[in-house]
Amino acid sequence: MPVPKSVRWHDGRLWLLDQRALPDVVSEIELHDAGEVAVAIRDLVVRGAPAIGIAAAYGMALAWRAGEDLDSAAKTLLAARPTAVNLAWAVRRMLAVGANGGDLVEEARTIHAEDAAMCRAIGRHGGHLIAPDANLLTHCNAGALAVSELGTATAPMYLAHERGVPFHVFVDETRPVLQGARLTAWELGAAGIDCTLICDGAAAHLMGLGQVDLVIVGTDRVTANGDVVNKIGTRALAIAAKWHDVPFYVACPASTFDSATPTGADVAIEERGAEELTASIPVPAQVRVRNPAFDVTPAELVTGYITDRGLFDDATGFDQGGV
C-alpha cells in the first residue's frame, strides 16, 4: 500500500497531506495562498526539507497567479521555519523566475518533478551500501512523506527492496514529535520493508551488541564544511556510530547544500514550543522546557553523503555536476 503524496497539485489547486494526524487519520488540506502555506509549514502539516521547498514553491505560484506582491509572499514563507535550506532555495528560485517574467506555476511543477528525479538518483547512488541481511538504522522521517516520492534516507532502502535485497531497519521513534514512530515506521511497513521501532536511547545499545551495520539519515542543511543540520538526536547517533565503528551516511539532494554558510555553528537552530514535550508527559509547572528541533553533526562524524550527484566522502562532492 503506497503512502499518499505529501504535496499534490491538481487542476490548479494545492493540497497538502496533514502529517500531524498520521498515521491514525489520512487527510488532505487545500491551501489557497502563500500565507496559508507558511502556516502549514510552521505547524508541521508539511515537513521534511524537500517537501517544505516544494510546498513553498507552490505557495509562491499561488501568490503569482493571484497577482500578489512576490517579495511579500517570499518574506512570509521564509519566516515560517528558519533551518531547512530548501525553503529559502525554492523561494529564491521562484523570485528569480518571477523577476524574469516566467510562469511560476510551471516552475513549481518543475521543482516538484526535479525532486522526484533526485530521490531516485539518491536511491541509485546509495543502494549498493545495503548488503543482503544488513541491519540499518534511521532517525526521524527522511522518507517518502518528507519529499515527493521514495525519500532521501529511505530511497536506497526502497530501491533495494524493489530488487529483492533482504534487510531490516531499526526506526528511532524520534522524540518529541515521534516522526519515526508515526511516519517512518508506517511508510516502511506499508511498503513491506521489515522494520522494528526503538526508542531513541536504544540505538547505542544495539550498536554495542553488533546489531547495527549501517546508519542512514536525511538532513535539512549541509553547510560548506560538511556539517549536517538534522533532527535533534542525530548528533548523538553519529557519535555513537563513530564509537562503535558503524558507517554513518547522510542522504540529501544537492539543493540541501548551503555553500553560503561556513559551518553548522552559523545556522539558527529552531526552538519549538514546550507543549511538544509536555503534552503527553506530566511536568511540574515550575520546570523550564527547552525544545531545539535540530542539532549539528560535525562533518568528521559523517562517513559519506549520498546525493543525487553521487556518493561522496566530503562536502566538495556537492559542487560536482551531473547525475
Q: Measured between alpha carbons, how far is residue 147 from residues 20, 47, 55, 225 in Å?
A: 16, 9, 10, 25
Q: Up-side HSE of residue 173: CA atoms within 13 Å toward CB? A: 9
What are the φ and ψ backbone dihedral angles of 307, each rounded to 5 degrees?
-125, 170
In DSSP notation, 220-272 reads: SEEETT--EEEETTHHHHHHHHHHTT--EEEE--GGGEETTS-SGGGSPPPB-
- Residue 78 corresponds to which amino acid? L
Beta bridge partners of 15: 8, 30
Q: Up-side HSE of residue 127: CA atoms within 13 Å toward CB? A: 19
What are the φ and ψ backbone dihedral angles of 29, each rounded to 5 degrees?
-120, 130
Q: Which of 200, 220, 227, 308 is catalytic?
A: 220
| Peptide bond before residue 50 is cis, with ω within 30 degrees of 0 | no
Residue 220 designated active-site:
yes
Could you give the CA distance from residue 122 to residue 112 in angstroms, rounded to a whole number? 16
154: part of which helix (H) or strand (E)?
Answer: none
Q: What is the CA radius of gyration of the chain?
A: 19
Hey, what's the torsion of the CAs at 179, 184, 186, 187, to 10 degrees? 140
172: part of which helix (H) or strand (E)?
Answer: strand 167-172
* Active site residue ranges: 220
